[in-house]
Amino acid sequence: MKLFKCQHCEQLLYFENTVCEKCSYRLGFLPEIMTVSALDPDGDAWRALAVEKKTYRFCANAAFDVCNWMIETSAPDTYCAACRHNRTIPNTGIQGNLFAWRKIEVAKHRLFYTLMRLHLPLDTKDGNGGERLVFDFLASPPQVDELRVMTGHDNGVITLALEEADDAEREKRRAVMHEPYRTLVGHFRHEVGHYYWDVLVHDGGLVEDCRKIFGDERADYGQALQAYYADGAPPNWQDNYISAYATSHPWEDFAETWAHYLHIVDTLEMARAFGMYVHPHLARPGELDAQVDFDPYSVRDPSTLIETWIPLSNALNSLNRTMGLMDAYPFILSPVVVEKLSAIHDLLHGNKLPNKVLVAAQSAA
């Protein structure tokens, strides 16, 4: 994610801003040029100051104050590039649902920003011509003895339990499941990793290559999850996996690693926007130094990302602790995990995946 600037008054803007706090200009996000633009009214449409000779209208979901993305007036779409993937939205007539949906859309729109920056396919179609990537935002029944909504992915359908937008409930689930990290944007990045396994790995003919790195996905998924929830992660799992949950099945290892790659590139882009430079005064020269002076979405060598991320995340964690908060990034990047992150990088950038077999090291854990 990056910072933006009002084209009318040059005030600093953020991704979710809808009105400039300095000049009161209406704002909208233009996905085709990936920027927030100040807007002038033009009849029933809007003229974007960031673009010449084009007019726009807001996504239909702007009526609920859940979206600030724009659509060209010449386009037939009612919903923006992010919202048109919604299959089921919460019942806005129920108290609290609209607030929850707004929080969900903030995270989902940030996901779509990242996917677009990575030039990933979004509008692939299924056999019936429908969108292959769709979202269901569902609330569990009020009766505690009824089946609860489970967040997950199934053949291009990503379901998110509405309760995940409740900070207290999400923290409760994080603690019960012994997770160091649980956020809405984390859910989206993880679940979309499953989708891109289907699109990039399976459909791209790279299954055998990924098996060498993440393991054999033909292992029974249901049994693997049952074993994980019954027995937990194996000893010394940090040597080979980014998270305990990644140990449950190769698909989950891929999705967790995918999510962390997205965490890293998006945070590094924002660090670049702020001109961040990390240099601990007590460290030896060059130790834990980091300067984000590159575009993390375009860098070709994955080691650049990792070598910058480790000192930056160390600084972020230390700053959080001074505020009495949890670590922003409570994870360890072991050499095997770095290799897996590098494989995700190569997959996203069309590079040949490494031939190094990592699953042998995993099975020995």
pLDDT at 264 over 90: yes
Chain centre to alpha carbon of residue 46: 30
Question: Which pLDDT score, from 0 to 100, does residue 359 have?
Answer: 63
pLDDT at 145 over 80: no
- Residues 314-348 have pLDDT tens digits of 999 999 999 999 999 999 999 999 999 999 999 99
Mean pLDDT of the chain: 92
Question: Which pLDDT score, from 0 to 100, does residue 234 have?
Answer: 93
- Does residue 93 or residue 194 have the better pLDDT? 194
Question: Which pLDDT score, from 0 to 100, does residue 365 have?
Answer: 40
Q: Residue 153 to residues 54, 133, 136, 204, 249: CA-CA distances in angstroms? A: 38, 10, 10, 19, 14
pLDDT at 57 over 70: yes
Question: Which pLDDT score, from 0 to 100, does residue 301 have?
Answer: 92
* 42 bridge partner residues: 45
- Residues 277-287 have pLDDT tens digits of 999 888 888 78
H-type alpha helices, 232-301: 250-273
Question: Which pLDDT score, from 0 to 100, does residue 142 have?
Answer: 77
What global pTM score does this model have? 0.93
Question: Which pLDDT score, from 0 to 100, does residue 287 have?
Answer: 80
pLDDT at 364 over 50: no
- Rounded Cα–Cα distance for residues 183 and 181 (Å): 7
